[in-house]
C-alpha cells in the first residue's frame, strides 16, 4: 500500500495518484516516475485545485541547448511557455574569455549573474560608452537598441537574461558579424574608408558566441570617450543590497526607484528559508515571471471563478503568474529556496492578503469570512513578504 506520495517522495516508494481518502488509482505506466516524484502536488493535486488553469511552469532542462565554443545558451520564451507573453528568459554560460558577440536588439535586457563574473561593454546613442565587471548577485540593464557585449572573466560565468517581450529569442538579434556578412564589401569599404581587402577574413555568417582569451584588467580596456560615459549606470549590485528581513526569509527589491535605468523591468530576489513561505499576495501592475535559483517549492495560482492550480517548482524552473492572480510560494525542501520575481514594469508592487485584511474594518472581515478572534487578532498591518509557520515542517504536506 502506497502512502500519500507528497509525504516521503524520496523514501524509495513509487508515488501513486491516490489521495488519503482513496480517490484515484495506481498508475501502472507508461510513466516517468522521476518526474512524478519531483511533482507530488501535480500527481496528487490539493483538493482545493479546480478548473482550467493553463500551464504556469517550464524547466530550462526541457529547452534546446545552443552549444558554442565559448559557452552555451537556452531560453524559455512564449514558444516554450505560451502564457508568458510579457517577458522571456535566457540562461547563458560563458567560459573564461568566452564572448557573447557585439549585438543589439529591440527589447531591453536585464541580466543577473548566478556564478562567476563577466565584463560588459556598451555605447549609447550619444556616443557615451560603458564598461564594467560584474559578479555573483550583480545585475545589468541595457535599454532597447543599445549595442553591447558580454565576456566571461577568469572563472567564466553563468547568468540569467530577461527580456521585456515574451516572443524574444536570443538567437534572433542584430549581430555585428551578421550585418558585416550581409553588407556588400564595397559598401563596407566606403563606410570605413578602407580598401575591401580589410574585410577579406570577416565571418561569413552570424558568430553569436566565440572563444577568446580572458581579457586584461578593466583599466587596460577602457576606451577614452570624448563624450563621457553613460549618465545612468547599466549595472546594480542586487545581492549586496540590504534586504527586507522577516522570520521566513529575505527580499531584495530592484526597480527604477533604486536602479533608475531599469524603466521596463522590476524584480525581487526572494529567499524563503526552510519552513517559510512567500505569503498569499498578488501584483496590481503586471504578470510575474519567476526564475528558481535553488531549492524546491510549490505554488498555487488562484485564477478567480473557483479555479486554482498547484505547481511544484525547483531550481532551473521558470514559473509564471498572470496579472492579478493570487498566489503563494512555499518552501517544500530542507534548504533555502531562492527565486527571482520579475515584472515588465518600472516598479515592483504587491498587495498582501494579510495586510489588506488587517487594515479593513474588523466586522467586514469577520462577517465576510465567518472567522473569529483567533484569526482577526493575528492579522498584521505590516507587510511580511515571507512568513514562517511556527511548527516546521509545515503540516500542510502530511495531512
Ligand atoms: Mn543582448
Ligand atoms: Mn508574486
pLDDT over 70 at 315, yes or no: yes
- Residue 343 to residues 35, 158, 289, 320, 384, Cα–Cα distance (Å): 29, 22, 6, 10, 20
Residue 3 is predicted with a pLDDT of 46
Domains of the chain with bracketed CATH = 1-41 (no CATH), 63-236 (2.60.120.10), 240-397 (2.60.120.10)
Q: 234 CA to middle of ligand 2, Å?
A: 25
- Whether the per-residue pLDDT at 4 is higher than 60: the answer is no
* 90 Cα–ligand 1 center, Å: 10
Place of cell 565559448: 70
Quote the pLDDT of residue 229.
Answer: 96
Ligand nearest the Cα atom of residue 176: 1
Burial of 32 (0-12, 13-18, 19+ CB in 10 A): exposed
Distance 81 CA to ligand 1 centre (A): 21
Pair 259, 267: CB distance under 8 Å: no
- Round to whole Å and give the CA distance between 110 and 261: 11
Q: What is the mean pLDDT of residues 161-171?
A: 96
354 contacts 282 by C-beta, under 8 angstroms: no
pLDDT band at 7 (very low <50, low <70, confident <90, very high): very low
Give the global pTM.
0.93
Centre of ligand 1 from the C-alpha of residue 149, in Å: 7
Catalytic residues: 341
Q: Which ligand is nearest to the CA of 349?
A: 2
Tens-digit pLDDT profile for residues 322-367 = 999 999 999 999 999 999 999 999 999 999 999 999 999 999 999 9
Cβ neighbours around 306 below 10 Å, total: 8
CA of 228 to the centre of ligand 1 (A): 22
How far apart are the CA of 340 and the centre of ligand 2, in A? 10
d(CA 86, CA 41): 27
Question: Cell for 27?
Answer: 498508475
Distance of CA 103 from the midpoint of ligand 1 (Å): 6
User: If you measure from the C-alpha of residue 157 to the centroid of ligand 2, how many angstroms do you get, rounded to a whole number?
Assistant: 28
Say which ligand is closest to the CA of 173.
1
pLDDT tier for residue 389 given thresholds of 50, 70 and 90: confident
What is the pLDDT at residue 390?
72
Q: How far is CA 120 from the centre of its chain?
A: 20
Contact between 135 and 117 under an 8 Å Cβ cutoff? The reply is yes
- Cis, bond preceding 30 (omega within 30 deg of 0): yes
The ligand with the least distance to the CA atom of 102 is: 1
In the prediction, which pLDDT does 335 show?
96
Per-chain mean pLDDT for the chain:
95
Looking at residue 392, its pLDDT comes to 58
Q: Give distance in angstroms: CA of 113 to centre of ligand 1.
A: 14
Residues β-bridged to residue 88: 163
- CA 389 to each of CA 18, 245, 272, 351, 359: distance values in angstroms, whole numbers, following the listed order: 27, 16, 12, 20, 22
Give pLDDT, residue 296. 98
Ligand nearest the Cα atom of residue 208 = 1
Do residues 260 and 232 touch, judged by C-beta distance below 8 A?
Answer: yes
Distance between Cα 353 and ligand 2 center (Å)? 12
In this predicted structure, what is the pLDDT of residue 391? Answer: 61
Contacts 24+ apart (CB under 8 A), 32-38: 36/5, 37/5, 37/9, 37/10, 38/9, 38/312, 38/314
- Of the candidates 158, 149, 151, 113, the one whose C-alpha atom is nearest the C-alpha of residue 134 is 113
Ligand 1 centroid distance, CA of 114 (Å): 17
Q: Which ligand is nearest to the CA of 280?
A: 2
Q: pLDDT per residue over 262-277, tens digit each?
A: 999 999 999 999 999 9
Amino acid at each position: 500500500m502506497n502512502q500519500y506520495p507528497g509525504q516521503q517522495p524520496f523514501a524509495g516508494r513509487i508515488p501513486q495518484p491516490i489521495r488519503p481518502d482513496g480517490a484515484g488509482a495506481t498508475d501502472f505506466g507508461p510513466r516517468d516516475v522521476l518526474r512524478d516524484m519531483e511533482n507530488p502536488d501535480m500527481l496528487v493535486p490539493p483538493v482545493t485545485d479546480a478548473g482550467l488553469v493553463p500551464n504556469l511552469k517550464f524547466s530550462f532542462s526541457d529547452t534546446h541547448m545552443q552549444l558554442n565554443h565559448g559557452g552555451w545558451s537556452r531560453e524559455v520564451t512564449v514558444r516554450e511557455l505560451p502564457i508568458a507573453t510579457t517577458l522571456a528568459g535566457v540562461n547563458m554560460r560563458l567560459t573564461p574569455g568566452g564572448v557573447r558577440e557585439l549585438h543589439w536588439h529591440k527589447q531591453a535586457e536585464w541580466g543577473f549573474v548566478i556564478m562567476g563574473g563577466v565584463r560588459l561593454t556598451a555605447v549609447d546613442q550619444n556616443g557615451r560608452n560603458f564598461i564594467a565587471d560584474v559578479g555573483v548577485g550583480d545585475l545589468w540593464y541595457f535599454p532597447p537598441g543599445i549595442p553591447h557585449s558580454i565576456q566571461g572573466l577568469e572563472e567564466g560565468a553563468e547568468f540569467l537574461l530577461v527580456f521585456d517581450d515574451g516572443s524574444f529569442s536570443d538567437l534572433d538579434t542584430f549581430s555585428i558579424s551578421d550585418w558585416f556578412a550581409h553588407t556588400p564589401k564595397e559598401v563596407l569599404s566606403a563606410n570605413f574608408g578602407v580598401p575591401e581587402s580589410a574585410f577579406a577574413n570577416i565571418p561569413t555568417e552570424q558568430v553569436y558566441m566565440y572563444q577568446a582569451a580572458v581579457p586584461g584588467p578593466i583599466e587596460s580596456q577602457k576606451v577614452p570617450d570624448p563624450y563621457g560615459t553613460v549618465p545612468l549606470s547599466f549595472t546594480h549590485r542586487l545581492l549586496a543590497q540590504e534586504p527586507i528581513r522577516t522570520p521566513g526569509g529575505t527580499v531584495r527589491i530592484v526597480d527604477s526607484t533604486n536602479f533608475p535605468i531599469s524603466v521596463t523591468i522590476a524584480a525581487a530576489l526572494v529567499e524563503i528559508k526552510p519552513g517559510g513561505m512567500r505569503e498569499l499576495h498578488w501584483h496590481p501592475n503586471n504578470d510575474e515571471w519567476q526564475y528558481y535559483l535553488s531549492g524546491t517549492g510549490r505554488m498555487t495560482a488562484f485564477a478567480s471563478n473557483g479555479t486554482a492550480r498547484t505547481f511544484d517548482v525547483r531550481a532551473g524552473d521558470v514559473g509564471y503568474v498572470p496579472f492579478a492572480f493570487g498566489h503563494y510560494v512555499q518552501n517544500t525542501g530542507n534548504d533555502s529556496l531562492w527565486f527571482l520575481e520579475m515584472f515588465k514594469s518600472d516598479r515592483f508592487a504587491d498587495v498582501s492578503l494579510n495586510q489588506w485584511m488587517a487594515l479593513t474594518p474588523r466586522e467586514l472581515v469577520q462577517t465576510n469570512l465567518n472567522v473569529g478572534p483567533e484569526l482577526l487578532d493575528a492579522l498584521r498591518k505590516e507587510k511580511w513578504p515571507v512568513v514562517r509557520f511556527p511548527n516546521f515542517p509545515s503540516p500542510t504536506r502530511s495531512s
